[in-house]
Amino acid sequence: MLPQEIIRRKRDGAVLTATEITAFVEGLSQESISEGQVAAFAMAVFFKGMTPEEIVALTLAMRDSGEVLSWAGIGRPIADKHSTGGVGDNVSLMLAPIVAACGLAVPMISGRGLGHTGGTLDKLQSIPGYDVMPDAATFRRVVDEVGCAIIGQTGDLAPADKRLYAIRDVTATVESIPLITASILSKKLAAGLESLVLDVKVGNGAFMARAEDAEALARSLVTVANGAGVRTSALLTDMNEPLADAAGNAVEVQNAVEFLRGAKTGTRLEEVTLALGAEMLVNAGTVADLQTGLTRCRDVLASGKAAEVFGRMVHALGGPVDFMDHADRYLQKAAIEIPVLAKADGYLASADTRGLGLCVVALGGGRQRPTDAIDHRVGLTGLVPLGTAVSRGDLIATVHANDRDSGERAAQMVAASYGIADDRPELAPVIGKRIN
């Protein structure tokens, strides 16, 4: 079956058969299909879409392109979370240990940055010694003994998606709902999950800027995942400003450590993290309702149990044994810090969140090509939330750079990314719809 014929049929709007889709995925994973053909297929899907049946076939073919894990004998409910990506979205770093401390097993297969959004793996590789690609025996042992392990997609898990994921990043096809659905769920189904919660971002810093598109993606994901036997729900969350007050790699890990120590209470970041934790506990069947789930998550955070689990996970995967106590010693810092000051009096009324993410990429904290190396040191900190009253000259962010020129350019980009108004803005709630 010629790949160019499959591409042509999809380009012309035809509905592909499961046989055609499986054949293309086999060529994708075996690399008998060229990068150009993969890019052409992705662009055809981007413009022509897929039926639900095509998405299911693509998801299952990508799942079955490699190993499907089994967690028999673990003795805990097997659960996970996935975010569609945003700026300052380091939720996974706190959420996995929180729900692990509540009794779940979380084998979290995470990805690298896509486009303007940060990647959990890039953040974790800021930690000296942390192995994002352990062997299968180590992965299983850490999940069993610690309760969670956040690692990368191995060559044995959905290898077809691993190649497609990298090509999507550099061909402007990231936003395709069928491709996002199949990419996310092929990895999650291959990980042997029993339940899943999805954080679907919406806003100017999300891949889905419009609420109707984000809802369509959420419903696609929930429908396909539940149809595959994984109990799944989704939250639509706001990405019209960075979620954390930091964006980058090492700086977001430091932010997560502070969160687990109780320093980020009352923030949008805390609201989203705990809401997702409650969803995970309900979907796993360990609590009866969301309010009980919220209480459980708050308790393990306040008691320090979640921080302890994170520290144990880091050490079990090769990081320092005392990382939680001395994160600031272990995380490398950029050479230069440049303040970003408010240009006028008023209220921070808007943020070009995508622009802030691209600022981190321009500093070296993201990739413009799949082979680019990441500079884990650079990023933004002290990002002031929207709705805050500021005076001209007030500090609204700090740029962390490794040379003065790039730092100054980034500071100008950050300043230009914020709008200041005379009146306090009406802000969207951080959590919108719940879909199950």
What amino acid positions are annotated as catalytic residues? Answer: 80-83, 120, 168, 183, 187-188
Backbone angles phi, psi at 399, to 5 degrees: -95, 135
Interatomic CA distance for residues 173 and 34, integer angstroms: 17
Interatomic CA distance for residues 42 and 40, integer angstroms: 5
Across the beta sheet with 247-248, the strand order is: 247-248, 379-381, 395-401, 336-341
Q: Which residue has the tokens 């500021």?
A: 390
Kindly report the number of other CB atoms within 10 A of residue 290's CB atom: 15
DSSP assignment string, 189-247: HHTT-SEEEEEEEESTTSS--SHHHHHHHHHHHHHHHHHTT-EEEEEEEE-SS-SSS-E
Give 132's DSSP letter.
Answer: S
Backbone angles phi, psi at 379, to 5 degrees: 155, -165
Kindly report the number of other CB atoms within 10 A of residue 414's CB atom: 24
* Tokens matching residue 152: 């990368």
Are the C-beta atoms of residues 235 and 198 closer than 8 Å to each other?
Answer: yes
Interatomic CA distance for residues 309 and 291, integer angstroms: 23
CA-wise closest residue to 50 among 25, 84, 15:
15
Interatomic CA distance for residues 360 and 367, integer angstroms: 10
CA-wise closest residue to 272 among 78, 87, 79, 89:
89
